[in-house]
Amino acid sequence: MILNERDARHEHILQAARQIMTAARTAPKGKGIDIIEVALITDEEIKQLSDTMIKMVEEHGMKFFLRDADNILNAECVILIGTREQAQGLNCGHCGFSTCAGRTEGVPCALNSIDVGIAIGSACATAADLRVDTRVMFSAGLAAQRLNWLKDCKMVMAIPVSASSKNPFFDRKPKQENKD
């Protein structure tokens, strides 16, 4: 039997992505409370995410969303990592408020944000160990948050995954908006 790497690549990437998701899940959590959500999207969902990112440019004008929207189309899959908002009750003041009860609605608990960061770090370290290409994208994460793919998560980040001869998520040129 001869198995060409190109013929096995997609399934390999999905297997690697599953391991990356496990790494995000098993990453340490503040106070040991798990409020992290992790999911994987492929195919049509990647296209839907890209289309949503393009539409968002009209609202906020951040042109790099166009580049990132085009860029994720080069991914075999995209991993989404987010956190549900839940104050951890430490009254630590790290969020800028002296008590958890005094926090303004919509201001995330700092531990929630830190937990997402640790999960992303663990996920990306695993991706590096598996020799697959990734990049953390808040732009794609924000679009996934808008689509509510990670139910009720207030902070979502996206990690596109690829295995090609050159990492498609780096050395990127800005994409210009069509003026049609």
| φ and ψ at residue 85, rounded to 5 degrees | -80, 125
| Domains in the chain, number | 1
Residue 121: inside a domain: yes
**In the prediction, which pLDDT does 179 show?**
54
Residue 146: inside a domain: yes
Residue 16: inside a domain: no
Record the tokens describing residue 168, joined without a space: 């498609």
Residue 179: inside a domain: no
Per-residue model confidence as pLDDT tens digits over 97-145: 999 999 988 888 899 999 999 999 999 999 999 999 999 999 999 999 9
pTM: 0.90
Residue 65: inside a domain: yes
Residue 50: inside a domain: yes
Residue 171: inside a domain: no
**In the prediction, which pLDDT does 154 show?**
87
**In the prediction, which pLDDT does 170 show?**
83
Residue 167: inside a domain: no
**In the prediction, which pLDDT does 85 show?**
86
Answer for the pair 122, 79: CB distance below 8 angstroms, yes or no.
no
Given a cut of 70, the residues of the chain with pLDDT beneath it are: 174-180
Closest by CA to 123, choosing from 168, 54, 115, is 115
Angle (CA) 135 62 157, round 5°: 35
Angle (CA) 18 120 169, round 5°: 80
* Beta bridge partners of residue 78, listed in sequence order: 41, 160
CATH number, domain containing residue 56: 3.40.109.10
Please give the residue range of the domain that contains residue 61.
Answer: 24-160
